[in-house]
Amino acid sequence: MATVSQTPREGDSHYRTHTVFNQVPALEGIDVFASNLPLVEATEREGAGWVRERASALGRFVGGEPQQQWGRLANENEPQLRTFDRYGNRIDEVEFHPAWHQLMTMGVEHELHSLPWTSDEPFAHTARAALYMTAMQAEAGFCCPITMTFAAIPALRAQPELAAEWEPLLTATTYDPRLIPVSEKASAIAGMAMTEKQGGSDVRANTTVARALNGGGAGAEYEITGHKWFCSAPMCDVFLVLAQTDEGLSCFLLPRILPDGERNQFHIQRLKDKLGNRSNASSEIELHGAWARMVGEPGRGVPTIIEMVGHTRLDCVIGAAAGMRTGVVNATHHAAHRQAFGRTLIDQPLMRNVLADLCLESEATTALAMRLSRAYDEAHADAESGDDDTDAQLFKRLATAVGKYWTCKRAPNHAFESLECLGGNGYVEESGMPRLYREAPLASIWEGSGNVMSLDVLRALTRSPRALEVFFDELHQAQGADKRLDARVHALEGQFADSATLETRARRVVEGMALCLQGSLLVRNAPAAVADAFCASRLGGDGGLEYGTLPAGSDFEAIIDRSLV
């Protein structure tokens, strides 16, 4: 007897095709500071415990709209260049989505651009690092102009009268994106422009020239003509630029709007179509007799602007830690709620290995970033007292280059492995993981690629040989606590014996310096499970080349629990 088929009726559970299950709940309402236990501990340990309540308030705010909406909207609606107005007048303006301005307002109001220069509290650089690492988990792009504004201050102080004029504007806690004379504004944002088509990192090959208008010299007026291949955040109010004078490469302060209200001869040729960092505008510019004033002494442009570069490199390390934390939070949250093969992912041994390894990298990077930030506090205090050659300053100089090289090199693969923990869901833009992955290579390239940073370590040692002794003194604070760390430090000391091949081996040597520094910090300060797994896998040879290759005896649960939200 033939059966008669029945048409499925709407509402029959047997025929429902859009029942959502085994999907991960949204990451909402998280205090992205307080839930970051390694950061909370490091903030206290490095002397900035006073900022904890403030950082937690920011963390709760960032976990809301900034993380849920603003970062996505600022990237989906990229900045647009408006070269001319409707009448044909050249305006060179960049238009941004409102979400970008909301992010900038958040950064300025929370003093990510200014805290060390305005606060009387101790270890203000360290406190700012905690705030910066927290805010950057909403979106990385807006941190570019925030960092440059922060980093411009120590360079600008080489010319006291210019610092007196601009520092109050650059440290103000209001954000005003209008391109109008600064005399009509209560605040300003700073950018920088160094690299050129033919030079790249070799800024001494620059061809941009500066002609003195009134005799020349420190603080004097100049007319600048040339181009810049990368001008970060061209919508800023003022820029530090490098140009050639008769005395050599010099540093200049160049405003977008002239004191009389006219637009400076600062022409944006195009915006860069970048891999990541797409919410932020990066550009090529031409300067057609643009008005500027010299900062520092003629021919001393690189030493003057290097103060800015050093602080931007610090933020590259902090930013790498922020990106890793974002990856860890998303990976562990997904694994804690997603089931496969009858168990949640986080309960499966191999996934636990991967997650623990990612957590380990994130914690080690956070510890390094916060220790480095304290070095900036200590070096700044020494300089204020008139001492310019202290252990803190030597450590800061060397550890910045070491830390930037290693943490920024580790960030891209960390982002990729975090993305892979989400499977196909992680490859979809809605997850936010592709944006994290595209962003990750930037910090390694910006302000000195891997080779530049490795050679910078060698330059620092050549100029101040005692810096190596200071660096090893830091490592030796953990001496005797772990045999694997002791052996690796001893081996590292031997790496400097053969000076003839040191440049060829520079990357390997700097990698060893970074790993020993991270190991020393974790052995002294982290729980035993974290320190043991780090020393085994990174220093003792009991780990592979990819994440997820920790020794089988590692305490995966203890490591992961420190990073769960």
DSSP assignment of 156-180 equals: HTTSHHHHHHHHHHHT-S------S
In terms of domains, do 226 and 264 share one? yes
- Whole-prediction pTM: 0.96
Alpha helices in 338-388 (DSSP H): 349-384
In terms of domains, do 354 and 475 share one? yes
**Cα–Cα nearest to 445, from 453, 455, 437:** 453
pLDDT at res. 15: 62
Domain end among 301, 322, 348 = 301
Q: Is 471 a domain residue?
A: yes
pLDDT at res. 200: 79
Q: Is 19 a domain residue?
A: no
Query: What type of residue is 462?
Result: T
pLDDT at res. 2: 43
pLDDT at res. 387: 80
Q: Are 255 and 264 in contact (CB under 8 A)?
A: yes
Q: Is 1 a domain residue?
A: no
In terms of domains, do 233 and 318 share one? no
DSSP type of residue 492: H
pLDDT at res. 1: 40
Domain end among 272, 301, 330 = 301
User: pLDDT digits over 28-57, tens only?
Assistant: 999 999 999 999 999 999 999 999 999 999
How far apart (Å, rounded) are the C-alpha atoms in residues 136 and 439? 12
In terms of domains, do 297 and 321 share one? no
Largest CA distance in the chain: 108
Q: What are phi and psi of 419, to 5 degrees?
A: -60, -45
**Residue 267 β-bridge partners:** 286
Please give the tally of structural domains in the chain: 3
Q: Is 2 a domain residue?
A: no
Q: Is 13 a domain residue?
A: no
In terms of domains, do 73 and 192 share one? no
pLDDT at res. 10: 54
Three-state SS at 219: coil
Q: What is the CATH number of the domain that holds 249?
A: 2.40.110.20
In terms of domains, do 103 and 189 share one? no
In terms of domains, do 510 and 543 share one? yes
Q: Is 25 a domain residue?
A: no
Query: What type of residue is 436?
Result: L
Q: Is 12 a domain residue?
A: no
In terms of domains, do 438 and 404 share one? yes
Q: Are 316 and 521 in contact (CB under 8 A)?
A: no
In terms of domains, do 127 and 53 share one? yes
In terms of domains, do 308 and 297 share one? no
Q: What is the CATH number of the domain that holds 382?
A: 1.20.140.10
How far apart (Å, rounded) are the C-alpha atoms in residues 556 and 451? 35
Residues in the chain, pLDDT under 50: 1-6
Domain, as residue range, for 378? 303-561
pLDDT at res. 279: 98
In terms of domains, do 446 and 462 share one? yes
pLDDT at res. 210: 97
Handedness of CA 249, 253, 257, 261 (dihedral sign): negative
In terms of domains, do 346 and 205 share one? no
Q: Is 169 a domain residue?
A: no
Q: Which two tokens stand for residue 125?
A: 């650089």
User: pLDDT digits over 119-172, tens only?
Assistant: 999 999 999 999 999 999 999 999 999 999 999 999 999 999 999 999 999 999
Domain end among 301, 327, 345 = 301
pLDDT at res. 14: 64
